[in-house]
Structure 1
Amino acid sequence: MSAPTEAGEPRRWRDVSEHGTRLGIKTVVVLATVFGRGPARLLGFFIALYYTLTSRVARDTGDELRRRLGLPLGFGPAFRHVRRFVQCTIDALFFLRGKTGAFRVSRNGKEHLQRLRDTKQGAVLLGAHLGSFYAMRMQSTQEALPLYPVVYTKHARRINDVLESLDPTSKTRLIEMGSGDQVDFMLKIRERVEEGGLVAILGDRPPPDGKTVVVDFLGGKVALPAGPYILAATLRCPVYFTAGLYRGGNQYELYCIPFAERIVLPRGDRQAAIAGYAQQYADLLAEFVRKAPDNWFNFFDFWGPHP
């Protein structure tokens, strides 16, 4: 059963309003830059407390996840969940500025990425709103990996603008979804892959008006985007599942797992093939959510009505 919602409460991720002003976000940036990670995390404590107190959506959707995993419910677990999200966002400021000396990062499966780089083989990296994308992007910078994230920036424009200001070069690598001609969007991705680029796509949130497929996930039915598998089939390149888990303190764990050497969608059984790949993704994602449930950053009715 999905979390109870109030009349008019947003059910889809793109209907959940962005929290925070540019001034508030920039205040955190200045504090982190001038005084360091410790004071910024202290401010983050109060930001997380405020958000937990004022956002029923965050409390209810987090409780829905914890209910499915058999974990304790209530304000305390909800606060710790939101605080984990705030901590990852603050750490993103340091990753973007290249100030990574304070972090301990373990890399699982990095040999796959190094092989792709050394052979100039393009690939699709399939991730989720789980843990820190910026920790994974930091790895790509340090190891000279040609990473090109596919993003839907319209939803969180304020925070994206501030984060991009910390690393202006990142804008040139972003491939924005839904911002114009879809043919041009596809051509950009194809060009990057043919050049040996790694195109990173988050596979847990359907874009507006995008095709979806219903799969089993943590004991319920959810709608996931079909687009990543259609795209990967067109590109005829390897696909890898990736995740960057925050384990508390200064510890991050990065994962890169082979997903498919090629995505094949037979003409006579296309929908079933897409559903099979989406279910494979959902099963992998569930494994990592069980490993680090407080890294699950989908604060909306994930098990709600399917679009």
Structure 2
Amino acid sequence: MPARSASHDWTAAPERGSVAMTRLMLWIVGALGWHAGHVLLYPIAAYFLLSSPRQRAAARIYLGRALGRAAGPRDLFRLYFAFASTILDRVWLASGRTRDFNIEVHGLETLRDTIQAGRGCLLFGAHFGSFEALRAVGDAGCPVDVTILMHEANAARVKALFDALGGPERAAAIIPLGLPDSMLRVRECLDRGGIVGLLADRAARGERVQHVTFLGEAAPIPTGPHVLAAVLNAPVMLAFGIWRGPRHYDVRFEPFADRVAPMGRAGRDAAVAESVARYGARLEQLCRAYPYNWFNFHDFWQKQAA
């Protein structure tokens, strides 16, 4: 039986920090340009690192597990710098200014083959690298609707930012979770053959989770995205926009499941459990390969309170 998340509400504090940094980047880019913004990332990352003790402690725990050794100040700075870099790039990518970016794309043909079947597709991502790089590829390379499903509080903040960055037409492609018509809108998008993307690595307080071994210890992974895929009988792909350096991304689309569960309810719980475990295992592989790309600044293993 899935448990419910008891962690602190990451949908509030950590995302407010992200919004604050994005607003700062908006001002810097508007006043000084990308190159000056990139130089200023060093003091900005240092400031956020030094001024967030709780998030710093959580990041140290994560990096220690991903690196297989104690994380030092340089490791922490690299994580914060990568995060700040994706926020700076987000300002440009969200407004469609991709000319000076080096974005290597892998697996896009597989994604196109999936959506050309006319069934639509769920795209599972994570707080890993840049989801905005994924959207930039989707806008340029996918002939269908690309919609993002996210928690309602975050959706309101992100909508306000996209209104400033890329116009209301981009913000309209966000479906907030928790509204009466949220699932209906997801189904309608899939029925049109569109793509619905969501981040599947974190659970909000009270959300159902399954504990899986992740970087050496049991951690809660939300079951909701996998249940959604099973109920809607939708194919699932994984998507990651890996930050490789200044304005350089490796965007990967990976096949995950033609369907999470067989038709009908029989065996659905077991199929969802297996799907959650496979997702966690793939995210673990990426965290070990690219440890400074998973922007985890909260108590993911729920150890700090204990």
1:146 corresponds in structure 2 to 145
Equivalent residue runs for 1:1-307 within 5 Å: 11-14=8-11, 16=13, 18-19=16-17, 25-69=22-66, 70-143=68-141, 144-155=143-154, 158=157, 161-167=160-166, 168-178=168-178, 180-181=179-180, 184-264=181-261, 267-304=265-302
Shift of residue 97 of structure 1?
Answer: 1.1
Give, in whole Å, the separation in 2 of the partners of 1:190 and 1:158.
24
2:3 corresponding residue in structure 1: none
Offset at 1:270? 3.5
| 1:150 aligned counterpart, secondary structure | strand
**How far, CA to CA, are the matches of 1:245 and 1:97 in structure 2?**
20
TM-score, structure 1 normalization: 0.88
CA contact (8 A) 1:58 1:82 kept: no
- The change in CA–CA distance for 1:246 and 1:202 in structure 2 (over 3 A counts) is same
CA drift at 1:273: 2.3
Question: Alignment identity in percent?
Answer: 30
Matched letter for residue 121 of structure 1: R
The answer for the alignment partner of 1:6 in structure 2 is none
Unaligned runs of 5+ in 2: 1-6
* Paired letter, 2:146: L
Deviation for aligned residue 1:56: 1.2
**Partner residue, 1:3:** none
Query: Shift in Å at residue 52 of structure 1?
Result: 0.4
Cα distance change on mapping 1:112 and 1:165 into 2, 3 Å: same
Q: Please tell me the residue identity of whatever aligns with 1:176.
A: P
Give TM-score scaled by structure 2 length.
Answer: 0.88
How far apart in 2 are the matches of 1:245 and 1:28? 20
Q: How many Å separate the matches in 2 of 1:20 and 1:242? A: 21
The 2-side partners of 1:39 and 1:273 are apart by 50
- Per-residue CA deviations over 1:245-296 (Å, capped at 9, x if unaligned) read 0011221001111111111166354433221110000011111111211011
Residues 48-97 of structure 1, C-alpha deviation per residue, up to 9 Å, x if partnerless? Answer: 11110011123211211221131452222111111110100110111011
In structure 1, the gaps of 5 or more residues are: 1-9
Residues of 2 paired with 1:159 and 1:238: CA distance?
26
